[in-house]
Structure 1
């Protein structure tokens, strides 16, 4: 069983090369990853590993992904799902989008997109659970009260600043690219222009990083991370 502080993903796919590529990419992004080749293996791991997100191939040797998801839900898991489906699987994509807590990625897929989708499912699941206080050092966010404090003082944020900080806190300690942040906070790509991310990061820094330790770190050539530098 994983620790509640760990970010865990279960990858279910019968193709060995896909399992290897996806597992490697997610581990590099900071997740703990378990893999399953069949639906039966996946059910066992849902119980023992308790993943926070499930990456699920639609076509498995013993069961289709949608049937497997129903069985997973019957066992009490509410983990959001990212389906992997074939390029011509229009029906699969529609079913994925209309299944609660589910998203989809089309094969062949870009690994960066899949990691971004996993991040989005995790962030959406966290925000919908409610009642959780997010924290990094002396920075806290009470999502129920929509209240942010730093060093015990209330920090007033705009709606976009709040959403950006929430995403950084949910992924505290992990490096997020500008395009991951764009996809989650703004939901579109600004025609490839990511400068809006830097602008809002600077707004947040003025409001929460006026005291030590500085929490918003710039990772040169990649993006940003919320953490205490050692």
Structure 2
């Protein structure tokens, strides 16, 4: 269902980017439209459920692909009708996407402030069918590959997730052998059926971090002792 006149008015007011004017966001990545004469090489095409928003991607493989189980996905589902137990997300540079239709039909949501103004980081969706398009960060975008029209299984494999994040918040167990982190990957603990070699690697990293911290404290104590002697 399309937004009412009042909703459109509210939507326009939330496109305000401050002193630069309410249309300034259209002139910046990821919303800047590339014309046919630009060097943007479209590899993939995708769009929302109703078709009002369509976009292209120029990067063959995402910078990263992950499953996220954070509780935000329970309250902000990937489908307009169904809650999602977890999220399949891929990371791209903002310059990797080109909106060919409907970039003015986008809506934003800041889950921190619970507001619908364009404030980074924020969630981006179609203002008509409410299909989530991506999460826009300050430097990157987190795009949902379920919106892409893959031409082959080979293309889809390029977007295969490499790990699970926030797995301790999961609502369903996934036995796929991928590394499973309690929080952000590489910055939290590994749990459940994470591959043994990945677990061992993480343990070594933690031990090295503790050793560096210990040596750092030791050096600091020695410096304090030297200063005390000089006095």
Normalised by the length of structure 2, the TM-score is 0.26
Structure with the greater relative contact order (CA < 8 A, sep ≥ 6): 1 or 2? 2
Flag the structure with higher helix content.
Answer: 1
Structure with bigger gyration radius: 2
Normalised by the length of structure 1, the TM-score is 0.26
